Amino acid sequence: MQGIKYIDEIDISNKRVLIRVDFNVPLDEGNQITDDTRIRSVLPTINYALDENARVILISHLGRPKGIPVDSMSLAPVAKRLGRLLEKEVRLAPDCIGAETKTIVENMKPGTVVLLENLRFHPEETKNEAGFGKQLAALADVYINDAFATAHRAHASNVAVTDYINNVAAGLLMKKELAYFTMAMEKPVRPFVAIIGGKKVSDKVGVLSSLCNRVDKLIIGGGMAMTFFKAMGEEIGKSFAEDSALEAAREVIRIAKEKNIKLYMPVDFVVADKFSAEAETKVVTSQEIPKDWMALDIGPATVTLFTEALANAKTIIWNGPMGVFEIDAFSRGTFALVSSVANSYALTIIGGGDTDVAVHRASEFAKMSYISTGGGAFLEILENNDLPGIAAIRHNQQRQSAV
């Protein structure tokens, strides 16, 4: 599993443990947390550290404050929610570095938790600045990365920090994420089916090519399907398509044929005369999209086709919705496929981001084998790329074992 050690394989007893978590949770206009899944997902790691009598120092980002303090992106609501979940006080430090933060950490007692303020209030974080990483490392004896969702970013809190601390490992959430990916990508029970949706082909060209070397069936839906149809010379009306990705789409079709992968694409669509909840809609076959209309969801025949393609699947991975599911008129395709995946007799791994939201809105999350906390990181692993956050842990552990 990526060749790294985890928190339960190293000594953290009575130590100051700096844990990189992903508390980038959604907030409403009143700054209230609307979904605390990401907070709950790291509770096993935090509780394990507390059971070891560690002093737990948590670091995270929230939103994109672009290197300056922004009140609406403070981690204060997170500290409050985490305290309720842990049933103990979680103190919020006013910054993630600096003299005051250092004093707070130095005065911590074993079995207590401090959350440091938003990492991205400092521009050095996203620049992976060495000095910033060194200041973070100086706060602790042990560093744990349990933020899978940001592991594809080379930032100071998950890369530079590992150069300045000897004891480094991954957390229990990271362990769980990588275990499921290992099952799916290295030793899948077949038939292995991948469902890839979303808007842009360009974001997922590498993923699609990589999957053609691994899966038995590849299902393509969402807005990206329109780029494939245009690449095949089909009429797509005013549907979104990436002209710059047409050749890439043709290459994926070619590879799938060469590798004898069963490639499934929509056979009908829900089309609209404009991109609006008030638009006039109708269902047409893929050959009958009107010139002045746009496809915004897969149609009922496609749902049936895709469901039948999943019938004998033993492993399913899914990233990207089938349509503009945020608008009710164009949500049925995505939600119907959520139901099909949820009711399959397969190991089901759902990619983060929009797919995660769709599964929760369809109230089928409990039936999925695993819902990843990472969107970009999920795609990077599907593309068979090493993640900077995981590579940094591995390199640190290799250095320490060589000493």
Can you tell me whether residue 111 is helix, strand or coil?
coil
Distance CA 394, CA 368 (A): 30
Q: CA 189, CA 169: separation in Å to the nearest integer?
A: 29
The burial class, CB within 10 Å (0-12 / 13-18 / 19+), for 287 is exposed
Q: Give Cβ neighbours of residue 65 (< 8 Å, ≥ 6 apart).
A: 73, 118, 120, 121
353 annotated active-site:
yes
Q: CA–CA separation, 377 vs 383, rounded Å?
A: 10
Structure-block tokens of residue 268: 């009908």
38 is a catalytic site residue: yes
The token pair that represents 300 in the structure block: 């009922």
Given the residues 353, 374, 375, 389, select the one marked as catalytic: 353
Cis peptide upstream of residue 191 (ω within 30 degrees of 0): yes
SS3 label, residue 396:
helix
The answer to whether the beta carbons of residues 386 and 160 sit under 8 Å apart is no
Cα–Cα distance, 85 to 58 (Å, whole number): 15
Q: Which one from 102, 127, 376, 394 is the annotated catalytic residue?
A: 376
Catalytic residue among 15, 20, 38, 230: 38
Whole-angstrom Cα distance, residue 36 to residue 343? 25
Catalytic residue from among 80, 200, 259, 367: 200
Which residues participate in catalysis according to the annotation?
38, 200, 353, 376
